[in-house]
Structure 1
Amino acid sequence: MTSWLAAVPILLVAVVWLLAPGLLLAYGIGLRGIAAWGTAPAAAVAMVSVAAVTGIRWSLLSAGLACLVMAAVFTLLASWLRRRLPARPADHRGVASAALAGLVPALLLGGLTMALGLRRPSQLSQTFDAVFHYNAVAYILDSGNASSMTMNGLGAPGVAERVSGLLGLFYPAAWHDLTSLVVLTTGATIPLATNMMAIAVSLVVWPLSCLLLARQVFGPARAAMAVTGVASIGFTAFPWGFLAFGVLWPNLLALALAPAGLAMVLSICGLAREDAVGRGRAWFLLGVVLVAGFFAETNVDFTIIVLAIFPVAIALTRRARQLRRSRAVTEILIAVVVFVAGWLFVATTPLLAKVRTNPWPAFESPAQAVGQVLLNATTGPNPTPGFNALWVLSAVVLVGIALWRRHPELVGGYAISAGLFVLAAALNRRDTQLLTGYWYNDAYRLGAAITITAVPLAVAGLLHLARWWPRLGLPTAMVALVLLTKGMYVGNHAEALKYRGVDALSGANSEGYLVDARTEAFFERVQPLIPRDAIVAGNPWDGSTLLWTLADRRTLFPHLGTATSPVQWYLAGHLNEAGTDPQVCREATRIGVGYLLIGESTFWPDDHERQRYSGFADPGARPGFRLLAQDGPLKLYRLACQ
């Protein structure tokens, strides 16, 4: 069992992959200080993702070289444009020092939250979504294919031939690409690398992105930089909620980049205070953030578009005051037409039909939903432990909202995000899905997006309180906030993390488990009995699908619900008839299925999907199978088809 101390080097490797490629690009195009470090994660995600979709054989060398080439190309381009885009001067050293000082308590409190919530660094998340995310990393490691354009099939036999179209097998794979690089660099297990990536995104990427947004909103103000880091880890809905619900690791990565995207919008719209990026670079970097979002979790691009509505409107209004009336009206009409046309396209395109109509039901009244927004307790239909009202922090946010004349772009974005959450949580009808469908009509995701503007509003509120009460002072105000929130709600957040993970002592959670300690030991025991190139059949709902993640042996059904093929379903219904049905052996031999694994699971025991795999029931003494290993109900059979 890996200790937290032993996991630190793996965590540092995750941080390096999330920052180093992007820092090369950011410094190469002339950014410095907070602007460079806040931009780096989005640039790194975009570079790694683009490298993956080029079709190169995935490895440390190929990924690293691809990132170096991209950084070099944009550095040369920036050098060529240096006269028009001179390097941005770094802020005074005191600004960076203040930002770093604010990050230290955020790292300490966030690290404590992770340790209490995860309990052990290699803790397995026993959730529906986690199966896909774990096995996606296993697929990349086995196949050398990290492209988002083919990820949805996870290499399942016959799927690629059955699914057609440019986006037929598309699944945003940035999270899995980066996690696979951590595994390749360190040799860590997939669950351990996944947890370290989650910590790195939550405690490094997200605060840095928030710092960049705060830098654009407040300028090079040391007080704002000192406050932002701590404020960024105080909201349960994000990042902690995405580690509890789902789990939504790809969305965690994507949404952590959104503040950087909004920072670029402010620069483009001329709303940044003492702009640290510059309008020319902001156009390019906004594209980088959108590419990163597309390959991390596509709905974050819609989030950035929504948050851009008010800044763009403010910029157009200011410009209209400087132009002749006819010219101003024309520009505003063009902007409105472009926006409406884009919305009509995404609201009607078949490419997003399945996403738009995702059936999340409404679960509360509009008044309750508004109350959850005001108290930063946005949650889903089944209240999650830890998603409690954040009274103190919410009061600080409300102070920031009351200062709306100073930051109307933030308050406007907050209001739109809150409105979308209320629609999803309280109504969720066919008409409201035209607005909320791009986030799967999911209140969890929409509630988390509120945090993007809530963090700088909390910073504004805290700075105002410190100015309003001079005797208090900002340091005392910060200490008081941490104390009154009991360490920025460490207990709340740890409880949220525990909810969806497996209790290290009891081996179970609120939804049952896929594998327990005995199953993990059995997987380790049977691994040498299974050739590396063999495919193992098994009912994914009995935990057998995690053999790929935990023992590096490929499974016929790599997920509980993803793209499938007729050959998979034929074997799912008939495999235990191998001794009497010749077609079973023909199909199994053709695609490489040579083993049957019988698992033991309590996960979602009443779900009807578990019953679709009658052919994977224990064959017992039936002909066509030879028992290789057993531990109680856990069994491994070899098909005797020769």
Structure 2
Amino acid sequence: MTWWQTVPYFAATLLLTLGPGAGLLAMAGIRGLSLAALSAPVSFTVVSCLGVAAPWFGLPFFPSTYLLASLALVALTGVVRIILARRNGGSWFGRLAFVATSGKIATSDLGRITPRLALPVALLLSGGVIAYRYLVGFGDPSNFSQTFDNVYHLNAIRRIVDTQNGSSLTIGNLTDASQGFYPAAMHDMIALVVHFTGASIPIAVNLTTIAIGAVIWPLSCLFLVARVVGYRAVPILITGAFASGFSSFPYLMVAFGVLYPNHLAIALLPAALGLALEALRVAKARTEQPWGAWVLLVVCLPGLSLAHPSTTIALLAFALPALLFRLVAEVAKYRRRETSGRKALWWAFGTAGYVGAVLVVWIKLRPSLSAAPWGPFQTNARAIGEVVANAPMGTTITWIMTPATVLGLYILARHVRKMWWILGMYVVGAVLYIIASSWSLGGFRTFMVGVWYNDSFRLAALLPVVTLPVAVFGAEWVVWRVRALLVTLRHSEQLHGWLTAFRNAPGWLTSTAPVWLLIVFFCAGSQGGTLSNVQSRLDDVFALKDTSALITPDKLAIIEKAKELIPAGDSVVANPYMGGALVYALADRQAVAPHIFGTRNPTEEIVLDHWDEASYNTQVCPAIRELRAYWALDFGTQTVIPTDSPNLGVNDLTTNLAPGVEVKAQVGNARLFRVTVCS
């Protein structure tokens, strides 16, 4: 299948990821950028909560269930809207929720065309670049990430498709003996894409990844920048130019890991943060009342949390400076007798309660130390330089966004009394990354960044969320200064030589054209340097080749033969470290060990450790019959990561020392075996 042939599948993916949220928001009265940017967060709330709730009601997790649940919620929203409108004495169908940026960008001295084109052009710039980089990196629509984590992600999607159960409460580890919580919002949505389109799991994963990176992330960024910098044409266009220029997001989460849940969660984060800023009344773009923003924030939080809880904790941390700013403002108003002491006290107690709640969540919602092995790898000085230069994890400096970021920091410092909360968000993100990447091992480091597995990659991916608004401040200053210079030259009487051409130039050439030229320059300039490194990594991770870490062409050919040879209902013994477990995701044949981690029951342990002893170990054949594990994959000795504990039950297959088995298929060094003594 070519990428052009996937266009209908991609349209269906967008329908599933945006449609339910768009319907709910439209029924609530939301319009414009807010409708577009919040559709995905609301849709993922619906799909992830449905995944958890459906088993309790005996409902299958299926596209039709998703559709009916969405329609029911839209109808309920309409009923609530009518009731509230009548109680408030308004029209019979007044708006249920008000948030800013629901209308058009106001016209300015840039004319009418630029404000009208700002949003679509910004989305096209960022989305087009990100989509192109993903298409090039993925190579073929059916390629998949050859990384450690992808064994779980692909098999989790297959499990949801097969069982029609998408509950995040039970999908962890993929085994009945150790099932537990794992955030499955992303897996749930991709499972619906597989059901709805009939696409293979790798194709559905790639299309959903493109939708998240090239559509959801840019919209989310536009929503945030409209609240931090302003809902104006120039900041919106600069956001479109810069949103695709960070190496650490969205690309890094797909090139490393692979961290698909974090990729989704961080793409949703700017929209959630924008709602928090509007709810706290610190955003530049806001309505008279904050209740609409509060309601929408509450609606979006389940989807964000079930995409990945660590990103919700990042939201709580990033919102703290804005909350403190609002507290200081309320206290100052009280001292000027502009507000009551009760209101100021309410904000003080609310802030204290918030800080206490964040501390509890910060301490409790974190993985065990055994799952957080990453340590520091650089000095503090280098880490600070990487943050300022937008080059985390040792990548190359971005020569366009780095000056814009530094200039933005200077502008914020010049207006620190009104904008210190923006600096505060930036500092929070910077400090977390600096601690993870350069702080010595110990209790303090674990306390600060253990939520993110002590992992510098995950914290590097958060930096663009708080860096982008700062860079937009700096770049907007440059745009207006260049434009002002050209306008001044046009009206100057002191020009000589070739500069006199400015006098006769049409107005748009010195007022509007420079803005568009600079936007193109920003977009093109943000694509060099640092992105070449992450693009190379992306290309390598998704390539199917003889040296692939997880699945080689020979292994893939055997997996495809396994689907033909292995009866449905039989299961396969394979070492997940060698990619054999992906027979479940790619061939729809159950793997006894579907995930690298997880506890196995006694029967599974016998088969996994002793399958090749079936001819002489009396415990093995009964276990094989119980699990119908008559098949095994021999994928050699290469593992995706170094390990001291491969599955012992297939070791003798590699050395040809296992009696009572026969080779049913072989391609290169990859082989499919069937036991002959347990029939």
Instruction: Calculate the TM-score normalised by the size of structure 2.
Output: 0.86
1:479 corresponding residue in structure 2: 520
Instruction: From 442, 451, 471, give the equivalent of 1:458.
Output: 471
Instruction: Report deviation, 1:517.
Output: 1.5
Query: Over residues 23-60 of structure 1, what are the superposed CA-to-partner deviations in whole Å (9 max), with x where a residue is unaligned?
Result: 01111112110011111110010000011111131222
2:64 corresponding residue in structure 1: 61
Asked whether 1:409 is paired with 2:421, we answer yes
- Relative to structure 1, the CA distance from residue 557 to residue 43 in structure 2 (aligned partners, 3 Å threshold; closer, same or farther) is same
Rounded to whole Å, the distance in 1 between the matches of 2:385 and 2:528 is 23
Rounded to whole Å, the distance in 2 between the matches of 1:86 and 1:569 is 56
Rounded to whole Å, the distance in 2 between the matches of 1:327 and 1:401 is 36
Instruction: From 306, 326, 329, give the equivalent of 1:295.
Output: 306
Instruction: Report deviation, 1:475.
Output: 1.5
Instruction: Report deviation, 1:591.
Output: 2.9
Instruction: Report deviation, 1:221.
Output: 1.1
Where do residues 523-542 of structure 1 align in structure 2 (5 Å cutoff)?
A: 523-542=559-578
Asked whether 1:341 is paired with 2:378, we answer no
Rounded to whole Å, the distance in 2 between the matches of 1:636 and 1:400 is 59
Contact 1:267-1:277 within 8 A present in 2 as well: no
Contact 2:241-2:522 within 8 A present in 1 as well: no
Structure 1 stretch displaced more, 596-605 or 187-196:
596-605
Letter of the 2:465 counterpart: I
Structure 1 stretch displaced more, 553-562 or 67-76:
67-76
Instruction: Report deviation, 1:295.
Output: 0.8
Rounded to whole Å, the distance in 2 between the matches of 1:30 and 1:593 is 55
Instruction: Report deviation, 1:237.
Output: 0.5
1:376 corresponding residue in structure 2: 390
Query: Over residues 47-87 of structure 1, what are the superposed CA-to-partner deviations in whole Å (9 max), with x where a residue is unaligned?
Result: 00011111131222112212222232233223322366656
2:270 corresponding residue in structure 1: 259
2:92 corresponding residue in structure 1: none
Instruction: Report deviation, 1:120.
Output: 2.0
Instruction: Report deviation, 1:336.
Output: 4.7
Rounded to whole Å, the distance in 2 between the matches of 1:179 and 1:355 is 30
Contact 2:555-2:635 within 8 A present in 1 as well: yes
Structure 1 stretch displaced more, 264-273 or 613-622:
613-622
1:173 corresponding residue in structure 2: 184
Where do residues 381-460 of structure 1 align in structure 2 (5 Å cutoff)?
A: 387-404=395-412, 405=415, 407-427=419-439, 428-460=441-473
Structure 1 stretch displaced more, 101-110 or 492-501:
492-501
| SS of alignment partner, residue 112 of structure 1 | helix
Asked whether 1:4 is paired with 2:3, we answer yes
Rounded to whole Å, the distance in 1 between the matches of 2:637 and 2:126 is 38
Letter of the 1:79 counterpart: I
| SS of alignment partner, residue 103 of structure 1 | helix
| SS of alignment partner, residue 638 of structure 1 | strand
CA RMSD of aligned residues (A): 2.5
- Relative to structure 1, the CA distance from residue 80 to residue 624 in structure 2 (aligned partners, 3 Å threshold; closer, same or farther) is farther
Query: Over residues 275-333 of structure 1, what are the superposed CA-to-partner deviations in whole Å (9 max), with x where a residue is unaligned?
Result: 26951121121122221111111101001001101111111111112336965774455
- Relative to structure 1, the CA distance from residue 353 to residue 114 in structure 2 (aligned partners, 3 Å threshold; closer, same or farther) is closer
- The gaps in structure 2 that reach 5 residues or longer are 89-94, 106-111, 487-513
Contact 2:609-2:647 within 8 A present in 1 as well: no
2:103 corresponding residue in structure 1: 91
Contact 1:537-1:555 within 8 A present in 2 as well: yes
| SS of alignment partner, residue 629 of structure 1 | strand
Asked whether 1:625 is paired with 2:628, we answer no
Instruction: From 616, 641, 664, give the equivalent of 1:580.
Output: 616
Structure 1 stretch displaced more, 489-498 or 446-455:
489-498
- Relative to structure 1, the CA distance from residue 220 to residue 343 in structure 2 (aligned partners, 3 Å threshold; closer, same or farther) is closer
1:223 corresponding residue in structure 2: 234
2:505 corresponding residue in structure 1: none
Contact 1:538-1:616 within 8 A present in 2 as well: no
Structure 1 stretch displaced more, 175-184 or 99-108:
99-108
Rounded to whole Å, the distance in 2 between the matches of 1:123 and 1:107 is 21
Contact 1:577-1:615 within 8 A present in 2 as well: no
Instruction: Calculate the TM-score normalised by the size of structure 1.
Output: 0.90
Rounded to whole Å, the distance in 2 between the matches of 1:357 and 1:537 is 25
Rounded to whole Å, the distance in 2 between the matches of 1:467 and 1:581 is 80
Rounded to whole Å, the distance in 2 between the matches of 1:622 and 1:420 is 52
Query: Over residues 548-568 of structure 1, what are the superposed CA-to-partner deviations in whole Å (9 max), with x where a residue is unaligned?
Result: 122111111112223433333
Instruction: Report deviation, 1:412.
Output: 1.1
1:101 corresponding residue in structure 2: 121
Rounded to whole Å, the distance in 2 between the matches of 1:238 and 1:546 is 27
| SS of alignment partner, residue 248 of structure 2 | coil
1:29 corresponding residue in structure 2: 28
Letter of the 1:367 counterpart: A
Instruction: From 73, 78, 81, give the equivalent of 2:81.
Output: 78
Letter of the 1:81 counterpart: L
Contact 1:258-1:452 within 8 A present in 2 as well: yes
Rounded to whole Å, the distance in 1 between the matches of 2:133 and 2:363 is 42
Contact 1:18-1:205 within 8 A present in 2 as well: no
Asked whether 1:593 is paired with 2:629, we answer yes
Aligned length: 620
Rounded to whole Å, the distance in 1 between the matches of 2:637 and 2:250 is 29
Asked whether 1:352 is paired with 2:352, we answer no
Instruction: From 372, 377, 381, give the equivalent of 1:363.
Output: 377
Structure 1 stretch displaced more, 133-142 or 61-70:
61-70
Instruction: Report deviation, 1:611.
Output: 5.9
- The gaps in structure 1 that reach 5 residues or longer are none
Query: Over residues 242-262 of structure 1, what are the superposed CA-to-partner deviations in whole Å (9 max), with x where a residue is unaligned?
Result: 111111111000011111111
Instruction: Report deviation, 1:12.
Output: 2.1
- Relative to structure 1, the CA distance from residue 323 to residue 200 in structure 2 (aligned partners, 3 Å threshold; closer, same or farther) is same
Higher radius of gyration, 1 or 2: 2
Instruction: From 142, 157, 164, give the equivalent of 1:144.
Output: 164
Letter of the 1:523 counterpart: I
Letter of the 1:57 counterpart: P
- Relative to structure 1, the CA distance from residue 59 to residue 550 in structure 2 (aligned partners, 3 Å threshold; closer, same or farther) is same
- Relative to structure 1, the CA distance from residue 222 to residue 545 in structure 2 (aligned partners, 3 Å threshold; closer, same or farther) is same
Letter of the 1:641 counterpart: C
1:280 corresponding residue in structure 2: 291
Contact 1:462-1:477 within 8 A present in 2 as well: no
Question: Could you tell me the percent identity over the aligned residues?
Answer: 28
Instruction: Report deviation, 1:543.
Output: 2.2
2:678 corresponding residue in structure 1: 641
Instruction: Report deviation, 1:355.
Output: 6.2
